[in-house]
Amino acid sequence: MKGEPSFRLVADKEENALRLDAYVAGHILRITRSRARRLILSGAILVNGIPRRPSYTVKKGDSITGTLPDPPAPFPAPEPGAIDVLYQDAALIVINKPPGLVVHPGPGHFSNTLVNALLFRYPELREVGDPKRPGIVHRLDKDTSGLLVVARSPAAYLHLTRQFKSREAVKSYLAVVHGVPESDEGRILLSVGRHPRDRKRMTTKNPRGRAAESRWHVRERFYDACLLEIGLKTGRTHQIRVHCAALGHPVLGDLVYGKRKSTPRKKSGGNAANARHAAKRQMLHAWRLQVIHPETSAVMRFEAPVPEDMESLMMTLRKGEKQGDPQEGFQK
């Protein structure tokens, strides 16, 4: 049976003054109060057709409706799928992840992820690291393309995990962003933490956020857009996207953090103006990666080619007015 059916509960007098999360947990089997809270915050449970907070006080006659999501599979299943492998040996695999591919299973994505395809091609990964995300030592957002290294043995997993945690691994990204910074380079030192009202978003405004540092420099300037190379000193969730937005130059195509904080410049005509608003996903690419090989201790450097959609967008932007490039075009 696929999931549980939609439910509708009507509060009676005796249940008046209960919190919404406690009410749901008390009426739906196998639902804890913490899970009820998460479902309420996600909008999966409504009161009289309206989203409410978990602390909402249930009133007599309230209609509480919702649909429980399918429970996640305990472990990812192997599934055939294309993988662009740039390098592999007995210790690690280096992949060029395409945009639109989720790295590992999670809420809403229980199959058709990179991990599912990896397990089909490399079944030994089942014994490497976290069983729910075997072999994965770092991750990329669904719509971010580029380099991802996967551990192929338990020893390699521990070694690579330590590298990313201690910041020995060196990561460099390319991002096409709205607007043109006045300077050619800079550093962003803003903590990143979970948004207090939207748990799917991150913010620089959370006082309990974790320290985060990004360094950037302009590789190419267009009219009211530019190509940035961004190096990460830390690896917080959504760090580049949040930092670029805080800088006033959000990543093109970013529907979550894409609202501009700077005053937009007068738009140019033609295709270049339209291109800035036509990106189908955030124009962010994990371009270069440097790690130390877990077995040989050799320094390994990898580079992933810019994906077609990002290259096409930049070609269109180049046809518009240029703004004094620090470099003459993008040089790999």
Asked if residue 309 is part of any domain, the answer here is yes
User: What torsion, rounded to 10 degrees, do the Cα atoms 310, 314, 316, 319 define?
Assistant: -170
Asked if residue 281 is part of any domain, the answer here is yes
Asked if residue 75 is part of any domain, the answer here is no
170 in Cβ contact with 107 (< 8 Å)? no
Number of domains the chain contains: 3
CA 194 to chain centre: 13
Concatenating the DSSP letter of every residue in 69-80 gives PPPPPSSPPP--
Domain extent, residue 128, equals 85-166
Tokens of 10: 């009507």
In terms of domains, do 123 and 224 share one? no
In terms of domains, do 244 and 262 share one? yes
pTM for the model stands at: 0.73
In terms of domains, do 305 and 221 share one? yes
| Residue 325 a catalytic site member | no
Q: Choose the catalytic residue: 21, 62, 141, 143.
A: 141
In terms of domains, do 99 and 162 share one? yes
In terms of domains, do 239 and 297 share one? yes
Per-residue pLDDT of the chain (332 residues; tens, 9 = 90+): 344 447 889 988 766 678 999 999 888 866 888 888 989 998 899 999 999 999 999 998 999 998 887 665 578 999 999 999 999 999 999 999 999 999 988 776 778 999 999 999 999 999 999 998 999 999 999 999 999 999 999 999 999 999 999 999 999 999 999 999 999 999 999 999 988 878 778 999 988 889 999 999 999 999 889 999 999 988 898 999 999 999 999 999 999 998 654 444 444 445 555 666 678 899 999 999 999 999 999 999 999 999 999 999 999 998 875 555 455 455 55
* Separation CA 81–CA 87 (nearest Å): 17
- Return the bridge partners of 290, or none: 170, 301
Question: What CATH number is associated with residue 191?
Answer: 3.30.2350.10
User: What torsion, rounded to 10 degrees, do the Cα atoms 170, 171, 177, 179 define?
Assistant: 0
In terms of domains, do 227 and 298 share one? yes
